[in-house]
Structure 1
Amino acid sequence: MEAVTWTLDRPPTINDVARLAHVSKKTVSRVINQSPFVNEETRTIINGIIEQIGYVPSPQARGLAFQRSFLLGLVYDNPNAQFIVNIQEGVLAACRLAGFELVVHPCDQKSPHFLNDAKQFVQRQNLDGVIVVPPASENPQLVEVLRDLGCRYVRLSAVSLDEAANMVVYNDRQGAAEVAEHLAALGHRDIGFIAGPSRHRSAHERRESFVSALKSHGITLRPEMVEEGAYTFESGEVCATRLLTREPRPTAIFASNDEMAAGVYKTAQRLGISIPRDLTIVGFDDSPIATRLWPSLTTVRLPAKDLGRLAAEKLIIRISSDEEEGHTATGVVSRMVVRESSVPPRG
């Protein structure tokens, strides 16, 4: 490609890029928005011209030209702060590449104003699309609100709840089954389980898979060894206190997320129970706290940043193209990471 020099005494526009590249303004827009529906030769030429003349997309001009806000919304009702932070980082990474911005909307599904607040959020911000995080993503009424508004959306969930174009699915069953396999292989039989809140689909997926995988090894998860937490550190403490003051005491506890697993650590220390000598602990998520605890926590890696990035990329492609792209299923698999907190039971 020949070198291009910008000599006019005004900033270059998208029309200038299109003229110099001999393409339409829409093609330039697709390159700026990282759309896959541009051939590589054209993409290289356009990116080269953008760099050479120093073109910087103007959010206001883009909005006027394409009748879009270039804003994505993130709607969540989730007590696990680290999970939300990781999702948000992934979404932001995709937004930066495509020239979009992110607006977040924490909500409370128990509030009588929940649906109206969500509707006003989308309308007030003039959002191009919304990413919905569980458990809000599992609310059919919220989805109907988004559909009625004509707002594109992507739902994150442990199971498929919608058309493939609207879903990014993470497989919790695989990770929970690996935990059961790991504990059985170590020789644990007296196993405690701290489930997530029943309103979360992920809590059911993790529990059902864990119980089923234990059964395949001839191990029954006794009802008195199961407690329901809230995906919070404090609920992990409370549930662990109940489990660790029972007789016989479990030799291993699987907590359905790392925050609750950290609560188990605190309770074990308070009760004088050594980890992992007296108690094996396994978590779920592989959040940063897993490697900051001592001993480091065996857990299941749920790539939340990848979930956020995939959801944003899928949504941006659909927003940026004339057709409804992105109809293929998208998802990630959770896998186990073995660290220092899991060993065979004493004796």
Structure 2
Amino acid sequence: MTSRSKPDAPSARPAMGKAATINDIARLSGVSKKTVSRIINNSPLVRKDTRDKVEALMREVGYVPDPMARGLAFRRSFLIGMVYDNPTAQYIVNMQYGALDALRDSGFELVVHPCDSRSPGYIDGVRRFVQQQKLHGVMLIPRASEDQALADMLADIGCRYTRIASVAMDEPARMVVTHDRNGAAEAAEYLLSLGHTDIALITGPNAYRSAHERTAGFLEALAARGIELPKSRIVEAGYTFESGVLAAEALLAGKRRPTAIFTGNDEMAAGVYKVALRAGISIPRQLSIIGFDDSPLASRLWPSLTSVRRHTRDTGRIAAEMLIQHQDNSAALSAASIRPHLIIRDSCQPPEA
């Protein structure tokens, strides 16, 4: 008798150099393509032993689901958008890192959309971005997050979103609140504890809610100790290095200079450093400075900058996580809360006698 040749074993791996497909995973694991799809999308309708076996196989062969293909199969996208209008580059980079932390190994990818909220057509531009990409959800970053018309548009077209803002501005499941007012108050209390009373303030742009919150927190903390800043000691700037230079020139040009300056972010604080150096003003002996953000810049300046840390990377991570969780159990979500705190370095000391 002649023996029949056996058919190829179903466990044969994909050819060398060829990326595994969902069909390969189904064939090799002995389950249906539908079951593999359910495992990829974290469906609770799959037994644990089956899920463990298939996930182990996917790791072994290096299978990575295609977000666009998954979107077509499930009539929705596996893309998370990040919409921002913010002049501080490091803040946006840290926010992106945080979002990527959350999306890693989730099957979702991040796409970004910078915009100019002063442009009359910017909301239509965001709508086109969301609809063309068929986004699963959108993270709104200040200043865009502070625009109620933008949030209303996303709600109207049925797009999930989370808003990052200094105060609660929406339903709890859509909010990450950063409590900027509290951080600014801590900065004021620290300067007062050192004995400063002639203090100046460089605020962010009036159009930003964060600027209002930081200004209010700082002034309220001073007022609680009986100190009221004259208008000449408060200068509005634009959250940029260049605007910090201009504001510092206005504050430090007179004969009677403040002994301390609080700035609405670290970029503007760096501008104050430049003006002080040019004018021969010693930091911190003749001028104490506090920033806000605690960006990498704060520890790179000399002397190192005391600054309010607001955990930007954690904020981005939480906002992205809320979007992913939203698909399963939105009713269980509550507003996330990020509390800032002061990081004391070398840019402050008691005023000279």
TM-score for the superposition, normalised by structure 1: 0.89
CA deviations over 1:260-294 (Å, ceiling 9, x no partner):
00000001111111111110000000011101100
Corresponding residue of 2:141: 133
Q: Residue 216 of structure 1 corresponds to which residue in structure 2?
A: 224
Q: Which moved more, 1:80-89 or 1:258-267?
A: 80-89
Residue 61 and residue 300 in structure 1: after superposition, are their counterparts in 2 closer, same or farther (change >3 A)? same
Q: 1:116 and 1:189, CA in 2 relative to 1: closer, same or farther beyond 3 A?
A: same
Residue 327 of structure 1: aligned partner: 333
Question: Which of 51, 58, 66 is the equivalent residue of 1:58?
Answer: 66
Tell which structure's C-alpha radius of gyration is larger: 2
Q: Which residue identity lines up with residue 158 of structure 1 in the other structure?
A: S
Contact kept, 8 Å, 1:18 with 1:25, in 2: the verdict is no
Aligned residue for 2:345?
A: 339
Q: SS at 1:345's partner residue? A: coil
Aligned partners of 1:6 and 1:53 also within 8 Å? no
1:60 shift after superposition:
3.7
Matched, 1:123 2:134: no
Superposition map of 1:39-188 within 5 A: 47-52=55-60, 54-188=62-196
Give the one of 269, 289, 294 matched to 2:302. Answer: 294
Are the aligned partners of 2:310 and 2:340 in contact in 1 as well (CA < 8 Å)? yes
Deviation at 1:59, TM superposition (A): 2.5
Q: Is the 8 A contact 1:12 1:53 kept in 2?
A: no
Query: What's the counterpart of residue 253 of structure 1?
Result: 261
Query: Would you say the 8 A contact 2:68–2:78 is kept in 1?
Result: no
Mark the CA change 1:54 to 1:245 in structure 2 (over 3 Å): closer, same or farther.
closer
Please tell me the residue identity of whatever aligns with 2:22: T
Deviation at 1:88, TM superposition (A): 1.2
Name the stretch that deviates more: 91-100 or 245-254. 91-100
Q: What is the CA distance between 1:30 and its match in structure 2?
A: 4.1
Report the Cα offset of residue 148 of structure 1. Answer: 1.6
- 1:131 CA drift (Å): 0.7
- Aligned in 2, Cα 1:161/1:43: closer, same or farther, shift over 3 Å? farther
* Distance (Å, rounded) in 1 between the aligned partners of 2:65 and 2:75: 15
Aligned letter for 1:125? Q
Please give the secondary structure, in 2, of the residue aligned with 1:284. Answer: strand
- Please give the per-residue CA displacement for 1:193-251, whole angstroms capped at 9, x wherever unaligned: 00111111111111111111112222222221100011010110111111112342100
Q: Distance in 2 between matches of 1:309 and 1:338?
A: 25
Give distance in 2, aligned partners of 1:101 and 1:126: 12
Mapped to 2, the partners of 1:46 and 1:156 lie a distance apart of 37
Question: CA separation in 2, counterparts of 1:40 and 1:154?
Answer: 32
> Are 2:67 and 2:79, in contact at CA under 8 Å, matched by a contact in 1?
no
Gaps of at least 5 residues in structure 1 are: none
TM-score by length of 2: 0.88
Does structure 2 retain, via aligned residues, the 8 Å contact 1:131–1:312?
Answer: yes
Where does residue 262 of structure 1 map in the other structure?
270
Q: In the alignment, residue 346 of structure 2 is paired with which amino acid?
A: E
CA distance in 2, matches of 1:139, 1:166: 14
Is the contact made by 1:297 and 1:341 (CA closer than 8 Å) also made in structure 2? Answer: yes
- Retained in 2: the 8 A contact 1:30–1:38? no
How far apart, CA to CA, are the structure 1 residues paired with 2:85 and 2:331?
A: 28
**Cα contact 2:293–2:309 (8 A) shared by 1:** yes
1:29 alignment partner AA: I
Determine the structure 2 residue equivalent to 1:308: 316
CA contact (8 A) 2:39 2:46 kept: no
1:135 Cα deviation (Å)? 1.2
Query: 1:60-113: per-residue Cα shift (whole Å, max 9, x none)?
Result: 432233222211111111111111111111112222231222221111111121
Which residue of 2 is the match for residue 232 of structure 1? 240
Give the share of equivalent positions with the same residue, in percent: 50
Higher mean Cα deviation, 296-305 or 35-44?
A: 35-44
1:28 and 2:35 equivalent? no
Deviations 1:17-65 (A, max 9, x none): 98659x955651344xxx9999998876664343245432232432233
Q: 1:328 to 1:46 in 2, by over 3 A?
A: farther
Structure 2: gaps spanning 5 or more residues: 1-9
d(CA) in 1 for partners of 2:319 and 2:46? 21
